[in-house]
């Protein structure tokens, strides 16, 4: 049976391998046989970027081109911009009335971000309410599946709680959604920290093959392998984690043994990994080029999607207002 699927991403410009492996691969695969809605979460970007809003608009096109290069097909999926469907704001308001404050205050992502993002003041009403807005995005479309990275699971849990509370207080209006996660282990940045464009440790979907190799070549390996003759421990090597993601079982085993016995060198090992990674990246790069050269209007496609999304949202909001009797 076709399932309604929905997911969003904050506009952050060019995307990296973490976005692809953590979410976009599932976005793409779910298009076959499901009814998919994918949107640009520009209001969510505003919760942290309210002081430099110009970056939000500028980054939308690059991001959506990377979606399409990854296989998101606007003929199969509805792609749109959150702020162009103002019904999301109304639903956010109604949900905010029934969301207990402690549910938001104890949210681990919220607490972590407050601690980490010291360069910005995030003690705002909007930032605390981030997951309520996310709940509105999801519940609006009666999504059954929400393909996201594992970091979004607490937000999904909160969405489920809010939906249950609404259904209990008024009537059964909302579908209880489920996170749809990938099997792929989380990829770290080339320096073994969280992969992020701001750290400069990310492999971008738009990088050229040469740029990718320039990032892979200096990756830190087992620090005990100072010389070629020193045996290594692949378990503590980030290159090996990448092999686990990209390589076939035989290559992984060959690396595992070769590393421990100093039978292979690190550059050779990186080269094998790079070749495998390129099998994933090259087709994305190729499609990206085709999309850019075709001169297709990304904004035009988003406009069409917005119209379709709004039809669903307008209908749903009638149902919601009716249930609340307002
Ligand atoms: N919070 C998500 C992120 O940072 C983006 C997002 C906003 C989202 N609304 C959503 C994801 C609804 C899934 C469903 O990546
Ligand atoms: Fe890492 Fe490969 Fe070098 Fe072993 S041989 S330390 S797995 S890069």
Which residues fall within 8 angstroms of residue 131, CB to CB, at 6 or more apart? 104, 107, 109, 110, 154, 155, 158, 159
Ligand number nearest to the C-alpha of 237: 2
The answer to whether the beta carbons of residues 272 and 251 sit under 8 Å apart is yes
How far CA 145 is from CA of 6, 31, 122, 134, 138, in Å, comes to 7, 12, 30, 14, 9
Give the position, in ligand 1's atom list, of the atom nearest the Cα of 133.
9
Cα 253 versus chain centre, distance: 30
Residue whose C-alpha is closest to residue 135's, from 42, 6, 310? 6
Residue nearest to atom 8 of ligand 2 (CA): 266
Give the position, in ligand 2's atom list, of the atom nearest the Cα of 237.
1
**pLDDT at residue 185, as a whole number:** 87
Strands 4-9 and 35-40: parallel
By CB neighbour count within 10 A (0-12 exposed, 13-18 middle, 19+ buried), where does 62 fall? middle
**pLDDT at residue 1, as a whole number:** 80
Domains annotated for the chain, with CATH where assigned, are 4-187+297-324 (3.40.50.620), 209-288 (1.10.240.10)
**pLDDT at residue 8, as a whole number:** 98
**pLDDT at residue 135, as a whole number:** 98
Q: What is the DSSP string of 15-41?
A: -BHHHIIIIIHHHHHHTTTSEEEEEE-
**pLDDT at residue 78, as a whole number:** 98
Helices and strands: H and E segment counts in the chain: 15, 5
Residue 200 CA to residue 192 CA, distance in Å, equals: 12
- Whose tokens are 């308001």? That residue is 93
Residue whose C-alpha is closest to residue 312's, from 98, 137, 73, 72? 137
Successive 10-residue mean pLDDT values, the chain, 326 residues = 95 94 97 97 94 91 97 98 98 98 93 87 94 98 96 95 98 98 93 92 97 97 93 97 97 97 96 98 97 96 98 98 97
**pLDDT at residue 198, as a whole number:** 85
Residue 137 CA to residue 101 CA, distance in Å, equals: 19
Residue 320 CA to residue 162 CA, distance in Å, equals: 14
Q: Which DSSP state fits 47?
A: H
How many angstroms does the Cα of residue 286 sit away from the middle of ligand 1?
27
Give the position, in ligand 1's atom list, of the atom nearest the Cα of 6.
14
How many angstroms does the Cα of residue 184 sit away from the middle of ligand 1?
19
Residue 81 CA to residue 146 CA, distance in Å, equals: 17
Pocket of ligand 2 (CB under 6 A): 221-222, 225, 232, 234, 237, 239-240, 255, 259, 264, 266, 269-270
| Token output for 63 | 């991001």
The answer to whether the beta carbons of residues 56 and 83 sit under 8 Å apart is no
**pLDDT at residue 116, as a whole number:** 87
HSE at residue 59, side-chain half, CA atoms within 13 A, is 18
Mutational pocket test of ligand 2: of 230, 259, 260, the residue with most ligand atoms within 8 Å of the beta carbon: 259
What count of residues does the chain have? Answer: 326
| Token output for 239 | 């290159």
By CB neighbour count within 10 A (0-12 exposed, 13-18 middle, 19+ buried), where does 189 fall? buried
Residue nearest to atom 3 of ligand 1 (CA): 9
Residue 222 CA to residue 135 CA, distance in Å, equals: 43
Q: Is any atom of ligand 1 closer than 6 Å to the C-beta of 202?
A: no
| Token output for 43 | 């209001």
């Amino acid at each position: 049976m076709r399932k309604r699927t929905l997911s969003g991403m904050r506009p952050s410009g060019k995307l990296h391998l973490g976005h692809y492996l953590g979410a976009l691969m599932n976005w793409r695969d779910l298009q076959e046989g499901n009814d998919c809605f994918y949107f640009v979460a520009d209001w969510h970007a505003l919760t942290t970027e309210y002081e430099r809003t110009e970056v939000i608009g500028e980054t939308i096109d690059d991001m959506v081109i990377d979606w399409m290069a990854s296989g998101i097909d606007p003929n199969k999926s509805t792609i749109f911009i959150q702020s162009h469907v103002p019904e999301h704001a109304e639903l956010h308001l109604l949900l905010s009335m029934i969301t207990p404050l402690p549910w938001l205050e104890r949210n681990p992502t919220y607490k972590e971000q407050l601690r980490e993002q010291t360069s910005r003041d995030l003690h705002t009403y909007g930032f605390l309410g981030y997951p309520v807005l996310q709940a509105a995005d999801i519940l609006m479309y009666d999504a059954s599946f929400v393909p996201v990275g594992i970091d979004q699971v607490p937000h999904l849990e909160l969405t489920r709680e809010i939906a249950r509370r609404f259904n209990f207080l008024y009537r059964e209006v909302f579908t209880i959604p489920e996170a749809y996660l990938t099997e792929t282990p989380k990829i770290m940045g080339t320096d073994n920290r969280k992969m992020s464009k701001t750290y400069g440790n990310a492999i971008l979907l738009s990088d050229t093959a040469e740029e990718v190799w320039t990032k892979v070549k200096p990756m830190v390996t087992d620090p005990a392998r100072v010389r070629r003759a020193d045996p290594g421990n692949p378990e503590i090597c980030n290159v090996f984690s990448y092999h686990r993601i990209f390589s076939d079982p035989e290559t992984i085993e060959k690396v595992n043994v070769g590393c421990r016995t100093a039978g292979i060198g690190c550059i050779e090992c990186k080269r094998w990994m790079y070749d495998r990674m390129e099998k994933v990246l090259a087709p994305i790069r190729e499609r990206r080029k085709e999309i850019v050269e075709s001169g297709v209007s990304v904004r035009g496609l988003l406009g069409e999607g917005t119209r379709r999304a709004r039809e669903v949202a307008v209908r749903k909001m009638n149902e919601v207002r009716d249930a609340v009797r307002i």
